[in-house]
Amino acid sequence: MSRFYLTTPIYYVNARPHLGHAYTTIVADAMARWHRLVGDETFFLTGTDEHGDKIAQAAAKAGVAPQAYADEISAAFRAAWRRLGITPDDFIRTTEPRHQAVVQGILQRLWDAGEIYLGRYGGHYCFGCERFYTEKEIVDGRCPDHRTPLTWIEEENYFFRMSKYQDWLVRYIGDHPDLIRPERYRNEILGFLRDPLQDLSISRPRRRLQWGIPLPFDDAYVTYVWFDALLNYVSALGYPDGERFRSFWPVAQHLIGKDILKPHAVYWPCMLKAAGIDVYRHLNVHGYWNIGGGKMSKSVGNVVEALALTGRYGNDAFRYFVMREMTFGLDADFSEEAFVGRLNADLANDLGNLVSRATTLIVNAGGIARVPPPGEAGDLEAEVRGAFDKARHELDAAMADFAFQRGLAAIWAWIARLNGYVDVTQPWALAKQPAQRARLEVVLYTLAESLRLLGIVLAPFVPDAAAKIRAALGQSGEPRLADAAWGRLAAGTPVQKLSGLFPRVVIGGDAVTGADAARVEIERSAPGPRRRKDGDASGGAAATAAAAAPGAPSAAPSGATSPTAGAASASGGSTSGAAGTAATSAPGSASRRAGEASGSPATVGIADFQKLDFRVAEVVAAEAVPKSKKLLKLTVSLGAEPRTVVAGIAEHYAPADLVGKKVVVVANLEPATLMGVPSQGMVLAGSTGDALAVVTLDRDLPPGAKVR
């Protein structure tokens, strides 16, 4: 039996999960499911990275201990992955004793072997990146990533003799052409290694940073967060003596975004070499998602939250879109328009219609609702089979290369062939001719068997839909790729109709474009998932169209579509006062009720809309409201005038997440007192299902700027 070990990066707990994290974890999950389908003994690892300056700072700002802070965000990641149907075999946290013991053990060994020395270092340090920058990397005296000024820091630190491994690493990469893939990233690292490699500072003095793993040979220092974090890939396997380490490390593959290429492609192999551990098999590197032209990363605030989108469209559609849309290794653009386009064309139309047509035909033909005997296949059937074999072959090759988009394209080429087969054979016409009964059975068997095969090969990508397809074809148990061979479907197997696998989504109007659409959709609150659950495409479409129009009346606080309703309703009972204030003082609330009844949002005149004073506000302080699980007390600046706003978002944001953020508030809301705290205004947030996102700015504007 083959083995397969795949890791995601462990995510840094200074930010909640977003699209970038979700993408990495979804493709890892699909790959792990693929290998389980193949029958490989599979181990899929993810987790959280919990030490370092940024965590200590964020915890201090939030007024909690770093461990409590890390606990909270780590739990948010686990909850997000559960909701996305991610199936890791282990979830490691760097604050766990099992990890700390391995880090200290390896540090001691490297120290004993003379691989680590005490040196003096001065450099330009970015607290955001938690790293020093060389003169060459600095842009106008600032961090190239954060664009913030750097701080000159000079101190004694421990260094790992990484420079001595430079020649070895260049040779190793040369001898293992698929170590780093796709090739562009291998070339990037070889280019980087043309310059002299520096030794790596692996410590931080405790007087500056307490929050880390103490060096075993000098407890005046803690371990540099990267040196700590990278070792999770072996500590989770029980290095050095664990059975899992022996089984899985020889087949280790990492999956990362390109922003953390250098630590994984340079530091990590050198660390492994020095520690006497074999280098991993493959480092698989993907690009960025661009939203509105900007890079999606944890350091750049962005209102798009992956969970909000999956809440709206379901996990399968989200998984399919991100894997199909991004050519692995390259950057891709995210827009809800493209998302809905693929959902409608590929999932609702090509796949959903095929499944619906085929199962309905089988169930209706002769009223027996069972798979007919295979009969005598003709040329058309041979072609369908041949097309499946070709797709299977291409899928295998694509998955070996982490080329998800190629694999899915191959499956969809076959789906297109199947739809063509239905059109040409016209089984509904055959059903009307008793003399064509034998021919009808051949066609229906071919369709049934094709659906069974789809239920298997789609399982890693759209697991819920694939399970439904298998269930409709009477297939129980875990799918196995070995069963994806033609002709195994037994005649007489009961078949059930399966329609509405992926309900079509209608976005009205041409106002929905790119990043605006994604943003507006997420801000839209209330019955997002409705459309998916009950297939109410028309109601959903109307709401979507209205919300997508910039500055449209739907931004006014009606219960159905207001961003404010998101914040208020999420806060539950204790802030119903605020929600009530918003709703009753809202213009056009009577017509809103009429609108709700007909399933479309109400309209208000521009004059009514202009009564609401929306302003850009900078959050200068944030704290929990005592005895409330849901409320946060925010101090916001609207230019000259600071004020207190209570927001029902504590279940979605830690106070530290919000400090420094520019949000949008309704500035002329009647003051209200919530849990004893007076609130002057309301923060806008969008929500759908369990997800909530505060509305922030795409570009910087000064506090107090009018929003209209």
Catalytic entry in 164, 262, 298, 390: 298
Tell me which stretch binds Zn ion (CB under 5 A): 120-128, 176-184, 404-412, 498-506.
120-128
Tell me which stretch binds Zn ion (CB under 5 A): 36-44, 108-116, 124-132, 262-270.
124-132
Buried-exposed string 175-193: b where 16+ CB fall within 10 A, e elsewhere: eeeebbbbeebbebbeeeb
Minimum distance of Zn ion from residue 129's CB (angstroms): 3
Angstrom distance (rounded) from CA 443 to CA 358: 10
Minimum distance of Zn ion from residue 278's CB (angstroms): 33
Instruction: Judge whether 143 counts as a catalytic residue.
Output: yes
Nearer of residues 115 and 145 to Zn ion, judged by Cβ? 145
Minimum distance of Zn ion from residue 126's CB (angstroms): 3
Instruction: Tell me if 338 contacts Zn ion by CB under 5 A.
Output: no
Buried-exposed string 580-609: b where 16+ CB fall within 10 A, e elsewhere: ebbbeebbbbeebeebbeebbbbbbeeeeb
Burial of 154 (0-12, 13-18, 19+ CB in 10 A): exposed
Nearer of residues 129 and 260 to Zn ion, judged by Cβ? 129
Q: How many CB atoms lie within 10 A of CB 306?
A: 26
Instruction: Judge whether 164 counts as a catalytic residue.
Output: no
Pairing of strands 252-257, 282-286: parallel
Tell me which stretch binds Zn ion (CB under 5 A): 88-96, 121-129, 312-320, 691-699.
121-129
Binding pattern for the stretch 80-119 against Zn ion, x by CB under 5 A and - elsewhere:
----------------------------------------
Instruction: Tell me if 129 contacts Zn ion by CB under 5 A.
Output: yes
Nearer of residues 126 and 692 to Zn ion, judged by Cβ? 126
| Residue 64 neighbours by CB under 8 Å, 6+ apart | none
Catalytic entry in 54, 143, 264, 282: 143
- Written as one string, the DSSP assignment of 216-285 is TTEEEEEE-HHHHHHTHHHHTTTTTT-HHHHHHGGGEEEEEEGGGHHIIIIIHHHHHHHHT-PPPSEEEE
Minimum distance of Zn ion from residue 132's CB (angstroms): 11
Structural tokens at position 572: 């539950």
Minimum distance of Zn ion from residue 269's CB (angstroms): 24
Minimum distance of Zn ion from residue 61's CB (angstroms): 18
**Which residues from 137-156 bind Zn ion, rule CB under 5 A?**
143, 145-146
Backbone angles phi and psi of 222, in degrees to 5: -115, 165
Catalytic entry in 129, 176, 390, 497: 129
How many distinct helices (H) and strands (E) make up the chain? 28, 26
Burial of 112 (0-12, 13-18, 19+ CB in 10 A): exposed
Q: Of 262, 261, 331, nearest to 296 (Cα)? A: 331
Backbone angles phi and psi of 664, in degrees to 5: -115, 130
Residue 327 DSSP symbol: P
Long-range (24+ apart) CB contacts under 8 A made by 599-603 are 599/536, 599/538, 599/539, 599/542, 600/539, 600/542, 600/543, 600/546, 601/542, 601/543, 601/546, 601/547, 601/553, 601/554, 601/558, 601/560, 601/561, 602/553, 602/558, 603/553
Nearer of residues 147 and 246 to Zn ion, judged by Cβ? 147
Catalytic entry in 18, 264, 282, 662: 18
Catalytic entry in 176, 295, 390, 468: 295
| Under 8 Å between Cβ of 110 and 90 | no
Instruction: Judge whether 51 counts as a catalytic residue.
Output: no
Instruction: Tell me if 128 contacts Zn ion by CB under 5 A.
Output: yes
Backbone angles phi and psi of 62, in degrees to 5: -80, -10
Nearer of residues 209 and 520 to Zn ion, judged by Cβ? 209
Structural tokens at position 492: 């007489």
| Residue 552 neighbours by CB under 8 Å, 6+ apart | 546
Catalytic entry in 35, 51, 54, 126: 126
Minimum distance of Zn ion from residue 125's CB (angstroms): 9
| Residue 207 neighbours by CB under 8 Å, 6+ apart | 220
Alpha helix ranges (H) inside 562-671: 563-570, 576-585, 589-597, 606-610, 655-658
| Under 8 Å between Cβ of 562 and 525 | yes
| Under 8 Å between Cβ of 595 and 561 | no
Nearer of residues 94 and 297 to Zn ion, judged by Cβ? 297
SS3 content of the chain, % helix, strand, coil (to 5): 45, 20, 35
Nearer of residues 45 and 143 to Zn ion, judged by Cβ? 143
Nearer of residues 126 and 410 to Zn ion, judged by Cβ? 126
Instruction: Judge whether 298 counts as a catalytic residue.
Output: yes
Instruction: Tell me if 547 contacts Zn ion by CB under 5 A.
Output: no
Tell me which stretch binds Zn ion (CB under 5 A): 135-143, 160-168, 339-347, 359-367.
135-143
**Which residues from 558-597 bind Zn ion, rule CB under 5 A?**
none
Catalytic entry in 21, 51, 264, 661: 21
Angstrom distance (rounded) from CA 416 to CA 353: 11
Minimum distance of Zn ion from residue 509's CB (angstroms): 40
Minimum distance of Zn ion from residue 133's CB (angstroms): 8
Nearer of residues 631 and 656 to Zn ion, judged by Cβ? 656
Nearer of residues 147 and 171 to Zn ion, judged by Cβ? 147
| Under 8 Å between Cβ of 521 and 563 | no
Minimum distance of Zn ion from residue 403's CB (angstroms): 32
**Which residues from 201-260 bind Zn ion, rule CB under 5 A?**
none
Minimum distance of Zn ion from residue 201's CB (angstroms): 16
Tell me which stretch binds Zn ion (CB under 5 A): 64-72, 129-137, 483-491, 672-680.
129-137
Minimum distance of Zn ion from residue 142's CB (angstroms): 8
Catalytic entry in 146, 164, 176, 390: 146
Instruction: Tell me if 126 contacts Zn ion by CB under 5 A.
Output: yes
Instruction: Judge whether 254 counts as a catalytic residue.
Output: no
Tell me which stretch binds Zn ion (CB under 5 A): 123-131, 239-247, 386-394, 605-613.
123-131
Instruction: Judge whether 54 counts as a catalytic residue.
Output: no
Angstrom distance (rounded) from CA 390 to CA 15: 43
The size of the interface with Zn ion (CB under 5 A), counted in residues, is: 6
Angstrom distance (rounded) from CA 642 to CA 122: 40
Q: Of 328, 423, 444, nearest to 26 (Cα)? A: 328
Residue 601 DSSP symbol: -
Nearer of residues 56 and 692 to Zn ion, judged by Cβ? 56
DSSP 3-state assignment of 441? helix
Nearer of residues 55 and 507 to Zn ion, judged by Cβ? 55
Minimum distance of Zn ion from residue 625's CB (angstroms): 33
Instruction: Judge whether 126 counts as a catalytic residue.
Output: yes
Instruction: Judge whether 270 counts as a catalytic residue.
Output: no
Structural tokens at position 519: 């943003």
Nearer of residues 144 and 487 to Zn ion, judged by Cβ? 144
**Residues annotated as part of the active site:** 18, 21, 126, 129, 143, 146, 295, 298
Which residues contact Zn ion (rule: CB under 5 A)? 126, 128-129, 143, 145-146
